[in-house]
Chains A and B, each alone.
Chain A
Amino acid sequence: MSQTNKLINLLERAKEDLQKWLNFANVSSLDEFYEKQENIKKQSYHKYTDVIEHINFIKKIEVKLGKY
């Protein structure tokens, strides 16, 4: 499989997994996450950073795929 196709597969899965990280942070959407991020950060450093790191991971793959 080409590296581009590997990146596409990874991106699809990373987008699916984002919902899991949002659920772990006890929110149902990205909008709700941004709205409540200060509270989430106070409750759990990891719940907050896990979502942020996952969002950055998706962006990183999208950059590699030339979407930006």
Chain B
Amino acid sequence: MENTKIDELMFSCMEIEKLTEISLDYDFIMDNISLIDDDILDEFRYSKDFKSFNFYVNIQEFSDKKKIKKYAVGIVNSNQENIIRYDNVPHHNSNKKVKEKNPPHHKHIGKDEQVDGFSGNIKDMQSELDEILKKLDLF
């Protein structure tokens, strides 16, 4: 995820079947990115409500080349409970599951925000989110 540009991340999320509606906000997202590219803003925050969940992307820091440095991407259900959250705040680096994957990248699963390892790879996140959102449709 690090060293990825924000538009790459957002396009990658738009490719997820249940998140294609993000493209309706294309102009808004591009406007936000242009403010970052012009050094007017140094943060990206996006949130979208879907029928039974909310999807969010928070990029709190960018590198000099406007690539993602500190991120959080997640889904919350309609009861405001965490379903999954990917982030790289380095506070779980000593956790065995995080340590053996690719710290500080990690994920929080379920309403109890249980910590698990995450590769930090955008494609891994894309396929996992796709799978999770398809399962959500079963309920």
Contact = CB atoms under 8 A, between A and B. Distances in A.
Interface residues of B, number: 25
B31 A1 contact: yes
A30 interface: no
B35 A46 contact: no
A53 B80 contact: no
A20 B47 contact: yes
Interface of A: 1, 3, 6-7, 9-10, 13-14, 17, 20, 23-24, 26, 44-46, 50, 53-54, 57, 60-61, 64
A interface, over-half SS: helix
A17 B44 CA distance: 13
A24 B80 contact: yes
Contacts of A14: 45
B126 interface: no
